[in-house]
Amino acid sequence: MKKYNLIIAPDRNTRGGITSVVKAHKQTKMWKKWNCIWIETYNDKHFLNKIIFFIRSLFLYTIRLKNAQIIHIHFSGPTSAHRKFAYLRLAKIFNKKIVVHLHVFSPETSFLGKSSKLYFKIFNEADKIIALSNTWKNEIIKFYPIYDKIEVIYNPCPQVRNIEKQFESKQIIYAGALNKRKGYADLIKAFGLIASNFPEWKLILAGNGEMQEGKLLVKNLDIENQVVFKGWISGKEKEQLFQNASIFCLPSYAEGFPMAVLDAWAYGLPVITTAVGGLPDILKHKENAMVFIPGNIEELKSNLQELILDESLRKSLGKKSFELSTNKFNINTIGEQLDMLYTKLTINE
């Protein structure tokens, strides 16, 4: 019977970075070459539905295991790690090659936290560990010092049509969950400090979460006519948002490797962000992004103001963004790296 690889990840309709990454991998030649099958483990519906979904997933997974070559497990925080450990143990029973793909946004709350023993077991039993950047690789090595197991494979930029940015829209966009970790409130506050100086500019926030808290903050800052809350968007609406924007900002306090920044690069947008998660591998202030310290609203305000005033800088950074999306973070490049990793694991079979 034809062999295949099993990709263990959340439901393809679930919101989140892992789902976006696997959808991107699915577009590469690697997916078809290795006959990859996506085993969906989790959905973001109500509690009972999640339990039924998980039991059904384990059943389908067990049936598929016999003829699988490689089990590629995507996981993140402690809850995800506990859930995915069941898939890993079954793979070990069937003597399968195992790749674990780490998407956590904070070592302190994951493999350096209360669940450290669980992460140690996962890393110990895996044949290969994928880190999202060299920065993350170094963090893992502090906890689990086995160098030859860890491979760095970046998340890929999505493929979009070649867009000639005009930077005429005067829109600053944010895409991601509205919560404290993502720093959306810092962006609103920073924009509030300069909004009256640039009345033609708008801040557009796309994402679910603390919508009411955000709207109250906007009201208190008296910038309601310049801030738009779009809620969660996808498909053509998301595409249009990125196409029409002139600046992208993600003021996060912690990340794995943010898909929203990868989206912005793909659309050739100048990026304002923080050097967190895997981003320190790449970011160079004023060379390929505007970089500031998380929580420093005054610094964020200055970066926003500078980009608003300097169209040539916006174009320069936008060009660097697009170069990153077509080279280091090109979806086909990432697919080739996964292909090489899979080949290493199966070369003696």
Query: Torsions phi, psi of 176, nearest 5?
Result: 155, 175
- Determine the 3-state secondary structure of 135 from DSSP: helix
* Helices 17-26 and 259-266, axial angle in degrees (round to 10): 50
pLDDT score recorded for residue 332: 94
Q: Which CATH architecture has domain 171-326?
A: 3-Layer(aba) Sandwich (3.40)
pLDDT score recorded for residue 158: 87
Q: Which CATH architecture has domain 4-156+330-346?
A: 3-Layer(aba) Sandwich (3.40)
Q: Kindly list the strands in the beta sheet with 271-274, ordered across the sheet, starting from the edge strand earlier in the chain.
A: 227-231, 202-206, 171-175, 247-250, 271-274, 290-292
- Determine the 3-state secondary structure of 48 from DSSP: helix
Q: Which residues pair with 285 in a beta bridge?
A: 289
Q: Please determine whether the domains at 4-156+330-346 and 171-326 fall in the same fold group of CATH.
A: yes
Which tokens hold the place of 321?
A: 């963004």
Q: Which residues pair with 128 in a beta bridge?
A: 99
Q: Which residues pair with 98 in a beta bridge?
A: 71
Of 6, 4, 126, 26, which is closest to residue 71 (Cα–Cα)? Answer: 6
Say how many Å lie between the first and final Cα of the chain, rounded. Answer: 16
Going by the DSSP 8-state scheme, the letter that residue 156 receives in this structure is P
* Helices 311-326 and 259-266, axial angle in degrees (round to 10): 110
pLDDT score recorded for residue 252: 97
Distance of CA 286 to CAs 150, 280, 306, 320, Å? 31, 14, 10, 10
Handedness of CA 335, 341, 345, 347 (dihedral sign): positive
Give the pLDDT of the chain (349 residues) as one tens digit per residue: 689 999 999 999 888 889 999 999 999 999 999 999 999 998 888 888 889 999 999 999 999 999 999 999 999 999 999 999 999 999 999 999 999 999 999 999 899 889 999 999 999 999 999 999 999 999 999 999 887 899 999 999 988 865 665 566 899 999 999 999 999 999 999 999 999 999 999 999 999 999 999 999 999 999 999 999 999 998 899 999 999 999 999 999 999 999 999 999 999 999 999 999 999 999 999 999 999 999 999 999 999 999 999 999 999 999 999 999 999 999 999 999 999 999 999 986 5
Q: Which H or E run includes 273?
A: strand 271-274
Residue 271 contacts residue 289 (beta carbons within 8 Å): yes
pLDDT score recorded for residue 165: 59
Q: Which H or E run includes 30?
A: helix 29-33
Helix spans in the chain (H): 17-26, 29-33, 47-65, 78-93, 116-125, 134-143, 184-194, 211-220, 235-244, 259-266, 297-309, 311-326, 331-346
pLDDT score recorded for residue 145: 87
**Where exactly are the structural domains of the chain?**
4-156+330-346, 171-326
Q: What does pTM read for this prediction?
A: 0.92
Strand 247-250 and strand 271-274: the pairing is: parallel
Query: Torsions phi, psi of 241, nearest 5?
Result: -60, -50
Distance of CA 277 to CAs 137, 217, 219, Å? 11, 27, 32
